[in-house]
Amino acid sequence: GVGEGLVQMQQMKKSCAVLSGRYCTDRVLEKDYKLLDKVLGTGMSGPVHLAEGKSDGRKYAVKSFKKSGLSLKNRQELKNEAELYLQLDHPHIAQLSRVYETDKVLHLVMEHMEGGELCSRLLGRGRYTEEAAAGAAYQMLLAVAYLHAPANQIAHRDLKLENFLYERKDTNVLKLIDFGFAKFWDPSTRM
């Protein structure tokens, strides 16, 4: 039935993420990235650190999860989040570059978004022009439409202004972040 097909599709997508070489269980983060002292923000899992790629010199955001305090179910959910996020490829979704998993920790290495939150920029300006508001809304809707498309069938489940970041301070390019509550969904069932 539809449910079995969805499960098979999810398993295939997960195995593709692992096979892509971007989900690393045999390599440590520090081999490829230098963690810098700067903390970019703090989420429910703890601080998000700035890192520098050793091979390309680019800046990245690294979100780390200690596995010791997590139940087996929560560990699996975290792994599923990482595998789901690795599949996404859209200009308005911040890219998850790599995942590093050890016995003790799971690191998500993400595109560094230097421009700050949509919420902060809006509060700083006081208000957007109609044109700027339309541009921001359009980019947000493009990201959500991509997630909801039949090829992806992903519900983000935490859409808010704080989860849309600007690529750089001098641009208006917005990208969606934080897939901690995201789930695959079956369009034939209610959420």
What is the residue whose two structure tokens read 């790629």?
53
182 close to 157: Cβ distance less than 8 angstroms = yes
- Quick one: CA torsion of 51, 25, 89, 182, rounded to 10 degrees? -100
DSSP 170: T
Strand partners, 154: 184
> Helices 72-87 and 2-19 meet at what angle, rounded to 10?
80
> How wide is the angle at C-alpha 16 spanned by C-alphas 173 and 3, nearest 5°?
95
> How wide is the angle at C-alpha 181 spanned by C-alphas 179 and 184, nearest 5°?
85
Q: Tokens for 120?
A: 């902060």
For 22, how many CA atoms within 13 A lie in the half-sphere containing its CB?
19
Query: 26, 89, 158, 178: which is the annotated catalytic residue?
Result: 158
Active site annotation includes 32? no
Active-site positions read 158
